[in-house]
């Protein structure tokens, strides 16, 4: 049951820029504590000791503020950052290397027995406060924006935002294929310095905006006089 705990701790070190040591994970990270409670509760649940599983899960909730039903299937290296208010339902399935921030719900919308909670494939990142409701799949490497409400399946590698969540961006190289975790879903592969990361993110944003302005200028070219077009260029 505890064989993978070291790998879990290492995954925290990789994914939290504020972290300084492995001991800090063991002592101060409610997401890690919740996972330990879940491993025990899930073991009891799978043996048919449902009340014991629920009780261990309840202790985990009291101790961490994170509620994971003992029947939920959780993959390797789940990273729950901050944690408070996270709820993971009975039939939810979570793949490997998934990241959840505080206030995330993997919930259901029906009272029927059977699969009613979402499945998150490997490498999914779910922003703080996001609600993912229903028995559908969020594809590999997808990202869910903070405070979004997701009500239908999400394809692999896309970012969805809003209420109800819609696709905001789609990347050529899906996040699941990236070798470096993007803290907070920010794209700065291979850049370790947070300041350099922020600058790189801004440069990428400027590049995207330049492309969009160029497209808009092309669409409006017929309506603009030559001097106006000159002042509207990106150069
Ligand atoms: C969604 C997210 C991952 C960014 O993904 P991205 O693919 O880089 O998306 P962009 O920043 O290019 O934004 C794409 C569009 O979605 C919008 N958007 C981004 N995040 C959004 C959100 N949470 N809610 C609503 N709209 C959002 C942007 O304004 C932008 O809109 P525009 O195209 O009209 O300008 C990021 O915004 C996010 O929410 N990360 C979670 C971070 C978090 O929870 N941190 C908690 C730390 S304690």
Residues 184-208: pLDDT tens digits?
766 665 556 667 777 877 887 888 7
- Which element (helix H / strand E) includes 160? strand 158-161
What is residue 206's predicted lDDT score, i.e. its pLDDT?
85
What is residue 79's predicted lDDT score, i.e. its pLDDT?
95
Output the CA 24–ligand 1 centroid distance in Å: 29
> What b/e sequence results for 53-63 when a residue is b if at least 16 CB atoms lie within 10 Å of its CB, and e otherwise?
bbebbeebbee
Residues 184 and 12: their CA atoms lie apart, in Å, by 13
Ligand 1 atom at shortest distance from the alpha carbon of 187? 8
Ligand 1 atom at shortest distance from the alpha carbon of 82? 48
Residues 28 and 151: their CA atoms lie apart, in Å, by 33
CATH number of 5-185: 2.160.10.10
Q: Look at residue 68 and tell me whether its pLDDT is greater than 80.
A: yes
Confidence of residue 31 (pLDDT cuts 50, 70, 90): very high
What is residue 211's predicted lDDT score, i.e. its pLDDT?
78
What is residue 93's predicted lDDT score, i.e. its pLDDT?
98
Q: Look at residue 151 and tell me whether its pLDDT is greater than 70.
A: yes
In the chain, ranges of CATH 2.160.10.10 domains:
5-185
For a ligand 1 pocket test, name from 161, 181, 209, 211 the mutation site with the most ligand atoms within 8 angstroms of its C-beta. 161
The chain-wide mean pLDDT, for the chain, equals: 86
Output the CA 145–ligand 1 centroid distance in Å: 5
């Amino acid at each position: 049951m505890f064989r993978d705990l070291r790998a879990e701790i290492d995954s925290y070190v990789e994914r939290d820029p504020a972290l300084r040591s492995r001991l800090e994970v063991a002592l101060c990270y409610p997401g890690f504590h919740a996972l330990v409670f879940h491993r025990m509760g899930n073991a009891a649940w799978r043996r048919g000791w449902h009340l014991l599983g629920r009780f261990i899960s309840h202790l985990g909730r009291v101790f961490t503020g994170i509620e994971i039903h003992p029947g939920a299937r959780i993959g390797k290296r789940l990273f729950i950052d901050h944690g408070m208010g996270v709820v993971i339902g009975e039939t939810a399935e979570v793949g490997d290397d998934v990241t959840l921030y505080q206030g995330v719900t993997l919930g259901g919308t029906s009272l029927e027995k059977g699969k009613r909670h979402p499945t998150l494939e490997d490498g999914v990142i779910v922003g703080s406060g996001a609600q993912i409701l229903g028995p559908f799949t969020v594809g590999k490497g997808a990202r869910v924006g903070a405070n979004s409400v997701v009500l239908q399946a999400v394809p692999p590698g896309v970012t969805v935002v809003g209420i109800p969540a819609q696709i905001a961006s789609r990347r050529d190289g899906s996040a699941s294929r990236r070798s470096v975790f993007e803290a907070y879903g920010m794209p700065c592969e291979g850049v370790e310095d947070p300041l350099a990361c922020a600058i790189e993110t801004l440069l990428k944003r400027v590049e995207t905006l330049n492309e969009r302005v160029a497209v808009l200028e092309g669409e409006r070219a017929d309506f603009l006089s030559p001097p106006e077009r000159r002042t509207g260029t990106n150069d």
